[in-house]
């Protein structure tokens, strides 16, 4: 009976998990296996032939889970999680530029907390606190809070005892205007404030995903559906051509090395190489001030009021900006943000030497974050 059930569900699981094909109505194959007491055996013994042929990435059939994300003005992408028992739902940014999970809490009376969903620890039967404080500073905001543990659910994944921050303060105005409640960091453990255990670490250690990686697909038309993050898998329908793998050079952010940046065949930045991070939590493509100024001038953008950089935004007038990374040329043909009929440059400057390849870049290149091999895969998004 065991071998028959496993054989029948193999194709069904592979198609559904890797290509988002709906399972037949009623119970999922995973639920059927769990009810029969066979799910653990399936995960342990059958991620090889005959299912291996369905995964073109590693040759191992993957247990993956997909979380859709809302595209807000091409500026932020957020999905839904739940915490506690019974579950309390929140919207979060899945942020590769940080490593902590936190949400607003009832302990916080700041305006950003009052304007968003707040976690009620006393309403969860599984919450416990270690009374440790945490403080996190982002480029556009900050929070202070306490650390606790509770059950986390992301899509159909359940993580037991996930460490999370509950905000006590959220100073400044950024989070007050944000459409999302909190942040779920997807960076390396070494980047985590107070050493809090990351969600990705627990996904791997609790074996709720079979591949230690996740992938991100971002649409670039405001309001367009289809943006998603896949935990433990890759969707070939989201890219064309081959995946170009780039080694992570420093395991904190998802940091890589840019060899050079060119416009019309001329090097405009990074002539001797420069560090960069792939960051889903940053809207723009950000770099050192002098380098970004060179790019803006090369593409015909001039600074305007409030730091905005308007320019004529048509594919006919926009020269490609090419990033050479690990020997591959990644062309950026569209790098503007269209809002209310106007167009602003998708490039921004920062005071540091670290480049941030944010959503403007990720929208062009399907991004795979491979923790098992410490590399990032980039492929032309479709």
What are 315-363's pLDDT values in tens digits? 446 789 999 999 999 999 878 776 666 677 889 988 789 999 999 999 9
**Predicted confidence (pLDDT) at residue 35 exceeds the cutoff of 70:** no
pLDDT band of 25, cuts 50, 70, 90: very low
Told to judge if 74 belongs to the known catalytic residues of this protein, a careful annotator would answer no
**Predicted confidence (pLDDT) at residue 2 exceeds the cutoff of 70:** no
Residue, of 250 and 343, whose pLDDT is higher: 250
Closest CA to 180 of 94, 253, 119, 97: 94
pLDDT confidence of residue 229: 98
Closest CA to 365 of 258, 214, 218, 155: 218
Residue with tokens 């569209």: 334
pLDDT confidence of residue 38: 56
Residue in 74, 181, 279, 370 annotated catalytic: 279
Residue in 55, 95, 359, 370 annotated catalytic: 95
pLDDT, one tens digit per residue, over 44-69 is: 443 333 333 233 444 333 478 999 99
Architecture of domain 234-381: Beta Barrel (2.40)
Count of other CB atoms within 10 angstroms of residue 371: 21
- The DSSP element (H or E) to which 205 belongs, if any, is helix 199-205
pLDDT confidence of residue 11: 31
Decide whether 66-229 matches 234-381 in CATH topology: yes
What average pLDDT does this structure show over 253-266? 96
What average pLDDT does this structure show over 158-170? 97
pLDDT band of 311, cuts 50, 70, 90: low
Percent of the chain whose pLDDT exceeds 70: 78
pLDDT confidence of residue 5: 33
pLDDT confidence of residue 184: 98
Domain ranges (residues) in the chain: 2-63, 66-229, 234-381
What average pLDDT does this structure show over 289-300? 90
Residue, of 303 and 199, whose pLDDT is higher: 199
Average pLDDT, the chain: 83
Closest CA to 202 of 159, 164, 259, 231: 159
Which CATH number applies to 66-229: 2.30.30.90, 2.120.10.30, 3.40.640.10, 2.40.70.10?
2.40.70.10
Told to judge if 279 belongs to the known catalytic residues of this protein, a careful annotator would answer yes
**Predicted confidence (pLDDT) at residue 223 exceeds the cutoff of 80:** no
Angle formed at CA 254 by CA 252 and CA 260, multiple of 5 degrees: 120
pLDDT confidence of residue 40: 46
Strands 274-278 and 355-357: parallel
Closest CA to 219 of 359, 23, 55, 25: 359
Strands 328-332 and 336-339: unpaired
């Amino acid at each position: 009976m065991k071998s028959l059930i496993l054989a029948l569900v193999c194709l069904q699981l592979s198609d559904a998990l890797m290509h988002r094909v709906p399972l037949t109505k009623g119970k999922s194959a995973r639920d059927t296996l769990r009810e029969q007491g066979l799910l653990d055996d399936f995960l342990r013994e059958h991620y090889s032939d005959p299912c291996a042929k369905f995964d073109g990435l590693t040759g191992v059939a993957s247990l993956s889970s997909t979380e859709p994300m809302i595209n807000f003005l091409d500026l932020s992408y957020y999905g839904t999680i739940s915490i506690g028992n019974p579950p309390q739902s929140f919207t979060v940014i899945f942020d590769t530029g940080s490593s902590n999970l936190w949400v607003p809490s009832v302990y916080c009376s700041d305006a950003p907390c009052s304007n968003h969903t707040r976690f009620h620890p006393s309403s969860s039967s599984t919450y416990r606190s270690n009374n440790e404080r945490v403080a996190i500073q982002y480029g556009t905001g900050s929070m202070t809070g306490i650390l606790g543990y509770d059950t986390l659910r992301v899509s159909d994944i359940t993580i037991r005892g996930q460490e999370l921050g509950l905000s006590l303060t959220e100073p400044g105005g950024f989070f007050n205007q944000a459409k999302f409640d909190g942040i779920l960091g997807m960076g390396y453990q070494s980047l985590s404030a107070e050493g809090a255990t990351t969600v990705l670490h627990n996904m791997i250690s609790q074996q709720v995903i079979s591949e230690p990686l996740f992938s991100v697909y971002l649409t670039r038309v405001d309001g367009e559906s289809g943006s998603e993050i896949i935990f433990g898998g890759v969707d070939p329908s989201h890219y064309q051509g081959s995946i170009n793998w780039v080694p992570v050079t420093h395991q904190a952010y998802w940091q890589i090395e840019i060899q050079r940046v060119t416009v019309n065949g001329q090097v405009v930045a990074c002539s001797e190489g420069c560090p960069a991070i792939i960051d889903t939590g940053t809207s723009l493509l950000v770099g050192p001030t002098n380098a970004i100024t060179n790019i803006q001038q090369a593409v015909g953008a001039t600074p305007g009021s409030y730091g905005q950089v308007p320019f004529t935004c048509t594919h006919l007038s926009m020269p490609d900006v090419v990033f050479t990374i690990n020997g591959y040329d990644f062309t950026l043909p569209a790098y503007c943000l269209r809002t209310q009929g106007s167009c602003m440059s998708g490039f921004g400057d920062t005071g540091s030497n670290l480049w941030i390849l944010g959503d403007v870049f990720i929208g062009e290149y399907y991004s795979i974050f491979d923790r098992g091999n410490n590399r990032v895969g980039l492929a032309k998004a479709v």
